[in-house]
Amino acid sequence: MPARHEARKGRDGCRLLEAWHDQQVTLADLRTPAVLVDKARLLRNIDRMQAAADARGIRLRPHAKTHKSPVIARWQIDRGAVGICCAKLGEAEVFANAGIEDIRLPYPLNPSNADRLIALAARTHISFIVDHIGVANAWSRALAAAGVTIDVLVKVDVGFHRCGIDPDLATAVLFVQHIAALPALRLRGLLSHAGQSYHAASEVHLQEMASAEAHTLTALAAAARAGGVTIDELSAGATPTARFSLRQDGLTEYRPGNFVYFDRTQVGLGAATLDECALTVLARVVSKPAPDRVILDAGSKTLSSDGARGFQPIAGYGTVLDDDDLVIERLSEEHATVRVTRGETAKEPGDLVRILPNHACVVSNLVDQAWLVEGEEVSALPIAARGRIS
């Protein structure tokens, strides 16, 4: 099949799709390593989170950082999401170009990018966060000068100690009041991310984090309202806490990202089962230097160096599915060194394995395209917003 063959050498998703228009590609045709997305699991994950949010009347706004794909963003919106989140303007530009009409950036944008935000605001409903007086004032000046008003939310630190105002400070309400009074910024409400949930020690711990987060947001919102500020939105979001946060009172929006794919870390944190994980890496044994050691063709350029998190310590750079005796003990950029925990392995060069990565979001960011899998059939899934770091 020369036509398929030629297409297979291309790296561009669109070209691949075009070349394969009338052909069926199967798993067996893929070069390795390859990033696979199980379409049925993906859609089930989307539907389950949407249903959980709908049941509580909470608007779901998935973070697109996990998939970086307008195709999947569209599926999320078609299934009930009110829009998406991106981290960087470069990502928002890709999704806006693809027709996504409501994009929130829970990221402390710097006013040096005012021109890009203003351009985006002309073609999509865009919103972002503020957590610093000087930055907020500069944004207000820049947007007012351009005659543009943009929705903002105040980022509240609920324990991750990354961005966000400290809600325990006496100045927290003053900060919210200050933002509400700034020209060209339309204050929508408060926003948080319980990133500390990735370091949770137990289910109970996660539950406490979710409860504390909701309590912090509702308390600050009450104080701000008492201070004369209108707070319409209380937005939280993180996949590990999602199952507990969606039971809290007061939240109006939830913004999980990883749940579309899940990964080894989410399994370790009780957020998913192995059977719910939609993204895997197809890799091939390329060497067997010893009976208890094989080398795979997927290294840190495919799996990343991110470790796994969970209630228990988790060793290795991913789970080799269907072979509990294999441990991915070391990654080079293009090699995985895999050891057998006892005895010898039956794996030989040429054999294929499936790996559940520690962190799905960063795997998406390492390839120009993944492959959507339905049974044995595959189709190209371009990762259009990959690598948009600015």
- Applying CB under 8 A, the residues found at the interface with a copy of itself are 5, 9, 11, 31-34, 65, 87-88, 90, 93, 107-113, 115-116, 131-132, 134-135, 138, 157, 161-166, 195, 284, 286-290, 293, 295, 297-298, 300-302, 304-307, 330, 332-335, 337, 348-350, 361-362, 365-368, 387-390
Q: How far is the CB of 170 from a copy of itself (least distance, A)?
A: 15
Residue 161 region by backbone torsions, left for phi larger than 0, else alpha for psi between -120 and 50, else beta: left
Closest CB to a copy of itself among residues 119, 144: 119
For the bound state, the minimum distance from the C-beta of residue 281 to a copy of itself, rounded and expressed in Å, comes to: 10
Which residue's CB is nearer to a copy of itself, number 298 or number 320?
Answer: 298
Q: How far apart are CA 122 and CA 202, in angstroms?
A: 45
State whether the Cα torsion 234-240-243-247 is positive or negative. negative
Distance, CA of 125 to chain centre? 20
Cβ distance to a copy of itself smaller for residue 31 or 225: 31
Residue 153 vs 165, nearer CB to a copy of itself: 165
The smaller minimum CB distance to a copy of itself, of residues 66 and 248, is found at: 66
3-state secondary structure 121-143: HCCCEEEEEECCHHHHHHHHHHH
Smallest CA-to-CA distance from 81 within 37, 121, 51 is with 51
Given the complex with a copy of itself, which of 48 and 199 has the nearer CB atom?
A: 199
Helices 89-97 and 70-78, packing angle to 10 deg: 70
> Minimal distance in Å, beta carbon 367 to a copy of itself?
6
- The minimum distance between CB 78 and a copy of itself, in angstroms, equals 26
Amino acid at 311: F
Which residues sit opposite 236 in a β-bridge?
254
Tokens of 108: 């402390």
Q: Which is nearer to a copy of itself, 109 or 279 (CB)?
A: 109
Closest alpha carbon to 278 in 11, 10, 48, 87? 48
Cβ-based nearer residue to a copy of itself, 248 or 358: 358
Q: Which residues pair with 81 in a beta bridge?
A: none
Least distance from C-beta 233 to a copy of itself, angstroms? 20
Integer Cα distance of 174 and 180 in angstroms: 10
Q: How far is the CB of 108 from a copy of itself (least distance, A)?
A: 4
Residue 185 corresponds to which amino acid?
L
- Write the DSSP symbol of residue 306: P
- 84 phi and psi, to 5 degrees? -130, 170
CB 300 within 8 A of CB 328: no
Provide, rounded to whole angstroms, the least separation between the CB of residue 349 and a copy of itself: 5
Number of CB atoms found within 10 A of residue 15's CB = 15
Closest CB 364 distance from a copy of itself, rounded Å: 10
